[in-house]
Structure 1
């Protein structure tokens, strides 16, 4: 059975087992088992991130061969990410204004539903957070200690250092430079092989992660917030299934269906882990082995996207703030809604470096608009399930960007001669064909 079918089967089994057996059965602490196994799988994925991304970017930049080539690709990548995130926030704006889930029976939700407290744990995360913190993301691009940046997985700092290292590698004239290039290419191949091994047990990890969520919270938690839940799901679906495929087809003239088939395993892992960074090794493998994107392009575009491109998160932030405004009967003017769009764009960029990032970003926007922070208690009811969905959209947008940039760079194999299971079954390092 192909890997994506194994993961899909594991997801279905997780929903069933989690809903039927709950957190404990016959005295067996199922939830603890789920957390242990799922935690091992997540840690295994995170273990790969720093060495794989560092080696991939250095090798990719060195193969491009000039600072001008890197700058052109970086410019196109940033433009795409800003464009796609703007489209996501605009989609949220239209869906929330059209369906108005914060209004029930013509009355604001706050008049019919008692708002739950936000809780001490979340309050502690929000304490001392200010909007200016998100602008410090530019400061994080230059790490004072690259080893510390690696230990803390500060992706922007690692990306910046790796790009500089790769450019310097093309300019240095020492006779030993080829040895350095071969070293990093070898590290990349080794990390890809380890990724292949980790993905062999992905169905088990996915089952544990999702079964734990369902067993602990249950599907019934979404009932009080069903209108908001469905509105956000609709917005995410429109962006992922209509907007991004249309952009992909208009720019590349490649089949969005073939693209979806190619990155399907990465989307399933993103859904189960709720981590764009944790899914990076899988996304890299899917694009190079299944979508025909070169290693140098995917190694540059995807890590940057996992750090600054958060389409699903930005969409959710905008939807959540509009929902709370509707629930409290606050009529937001057009200028205020434009301000929400801008704030969602800005805060989504810095979200990767902040714990419980979406909640923090939403709190900051609420503070700017003067809306009550306590209303966030409503969001906590469905946040976990929506987090899984919006992470999948984040990864989908990153992968779309990689395909678009690859096509603009003249890579003709993109989504053309795609053999989905090649490499995935043999364990052949991604990108071997390109280097040959």
Structure 2
């Protein structure tokens, strides 16, 4: 059974068991002794232990994942800086779309308020928001004085800056830099394997966390979770269909519906795998063969996009941050939301394109604004389903930016872009590429 089915079944089972335990607890139908056993040894015992271990595992991955991924990404980007304007256009567009994505998500979540009505029910009284520092302090504190201390304290913005500087320095250090880059690339593969191992245990964590929370909260939590789910889907739809289409039309003058239509196979594959990295070969072939982007552009922008363009993940982080802050009755203020935008945009560079990694990045964002990481337990139940949708949005954004850059560089075959006959594009791909 695939991981998606496992997590969906674990989610359903966790909700069912949680509702059943909540019914036993409220009705006292089984007697005080059995109810106490359920509460003390199952809900607050076994399920709580498994859930807390899983949350601790997520926190464990945050610092090494961000540091190593960003060092590798910035190192590769700096090595390709000879591409000059092409690299600049690509990175700017990716970061702009990510900032737009999380801003849209925060706006929708603040208007719809998916977490309102449950303030304090989940123990919000035990958490207090950190006072927002002045903007000048925020900007100064981005730059670390001690990177080891930043990693020990989990100061993500400082870690991001340090990783970017290190990656740039590695790419400029000749043979010593090549040896260090090889080490970080190998370390990145190991950390990705650790993430994969952690995701194997995700169904058990999802079951335990949901069963524990639903047993405490009851049916109200299901309704609020449904509201959160719909807000994230709405933000993803508006960004994936609206923002991308508008941006594409303004910057290329081409029909965005044509791009969306030709990207459908890649979007379906991304939806089924929930992995931008796994979908990369399909995305690359699609933008070259169906959209007419020259390989010299696509081979740079698509892999880079799979590394740094995580608009769907940023949307989830934005909505989840507002949802959790409302759920726990914690007001993080304007500076908190600006910090979320900045952190999620920069962190998107270090978000690897593998299933489930968005939850690790969400832990980083929540930690940055002083929100309880236990809130992840609430949203984790539906995250796998949302992960599939936001991965489709991510690879669509990669294709949009790639086509925009190719059009601006004169590396887009308009005949191929307008051609609705996919088979002819595949069969004559080499000829069309040469013509382009």
Alignment TM class, shorter chain as reference: 0.5 to 0.7
Q: 1:83 — aligned with what?
A: 96
User: 1:82: Cα distance to partner?
Assistant: 1.4
Q: 1:103 — aligned with what?
A: 116
Gap change, CA 1:420 and 1:385, over 3 Å in 2: farther
Residues 292, 433 of structure 2: 8 Å contact kept: no
Q: 1:134 — aligned with what?
A: 160
Alignment partners' CA distance in 2, 1:145 and 1:370: 34
Judge which range, 133-142 or 401-410, deviates more: 133-142
User: 1:369: Cα distance to partner?
Assistant: 2.1
User: 1:287: Cα distance to partner?
Assistant: 0.6
Q: 2:293 — aligned with what?
A: 293
Alignment partners' CA distance in 2, 1:81 and 1:288: 19
Gap change, CA 1:432 and 1:223, over 3 Å in 2: farther
What value does the CA root-mean-square deviation take over the aligned residues?
A: 3.9
Residues 273, 279 of structure 1: 8 Å contact kept: yes
Residues 275, 353 of structure 2: 8 Å contact kept: no
Q: Deviations over 1:148-204 (max 9, x none)?
A: 5665666xxxxxxxxxxxxxxxxxxxxxxxxxxxxxxxxxxxxxxxxxxxxxxxxxx
1:35-434 aligned at under 5 Å gives the runs: 70-104=83-117, 107-108=118-119, 110=121, 129-131=154-156, 132-138=158-164, 139-140=166-167, 142=171, 144=179, 225-352=225-352, 356-414=356-414, 416-422=417-423, 431-434=430-433
Gap change, CA 1:424 and 1:388, over 3 Å in 2: farther
User: 1:93: Cα distance to partner?
Assistant: 1.2
The TM-score normalised by the length of structure 2 is 0.61
Q: Deviations over 1:97-145 (max 9, x none)?
A: 11000013xx5273699x9xxxxxxxxxx99854144345423464535
User: 1:420: Cα distance to partner?
Assistant: 4.6
User: 1:234: Cα distance to partner?
Assistant: 0.5
Q: Deviations over 1:342-363 (max 9, x none)?
A: 1111222212289953222222
Which segments of 5 or more consecutive residues in structure 2 lack a partner in the other structure?
14-75, 127-150, 172-177, 190-202, 211-218
| Structure having the larger proportion of residues in helix | 2
User: 1:91: Cα distance to partner?
Assistant: 0.6
Alignment partners' CA distance in 2, 1:101 and 1:92: 12
User: 1:246: Cα distance to partner?
Assistant: 0.5
Does the residue aligned with 2:84 lie in a helix, a strand or coil?
helix
Alignment partners' CA distance in 2, 1:326 and 1:79: 32
Alignment partners' CA distance in 2, 1:135 and 1:97: 29
Residues 284, 302 of structure 1: 8 Å contact kept: yes
Which segments of 5 or more consecutive residues in structure 1 lack a partner in the other structure?
1-13, 24-56, 62-66, 116-125, 155-212
The TM-score normalised by the length of structure 1 is 0.61
User: 1:413: Cα distance to partner?
Assistant: 2.0
Residues 295, 431 of structure 1: 8 Å contact kept: no
User: 1:418: Cα distance to partner?
Assistant: 2.5
Does the residue aligned with 1:352 lie in a helix, a strand or coil?
coil
Does the residue aligned with 2:381 lie in a helix, a strand or coil?
coil
Residues 312, 394 of structure 2: 8 Å contact kept: yes
Report the number of matched residues. 306
Alignment partners' CA distance in 1, 2:336 and 2:188: 35
User: 1:227: Cα distance to partner?
Assistant: 0.5
Residues 89, 314 of structure 1: 8 Å contact kept: yes
Residues 308, 348 of structure 1: 8 Å contact kept: yes
User: 1:267: Cα distance to partner?
Assistant: 0.9
Q: Deviations over 1:195-223 (max 9, x none)?
A: xxxxxxxxxxxxxxxxxx9xx989x9976
Alignment partners' CA distance in 2, 1:267 and 1:355: 15
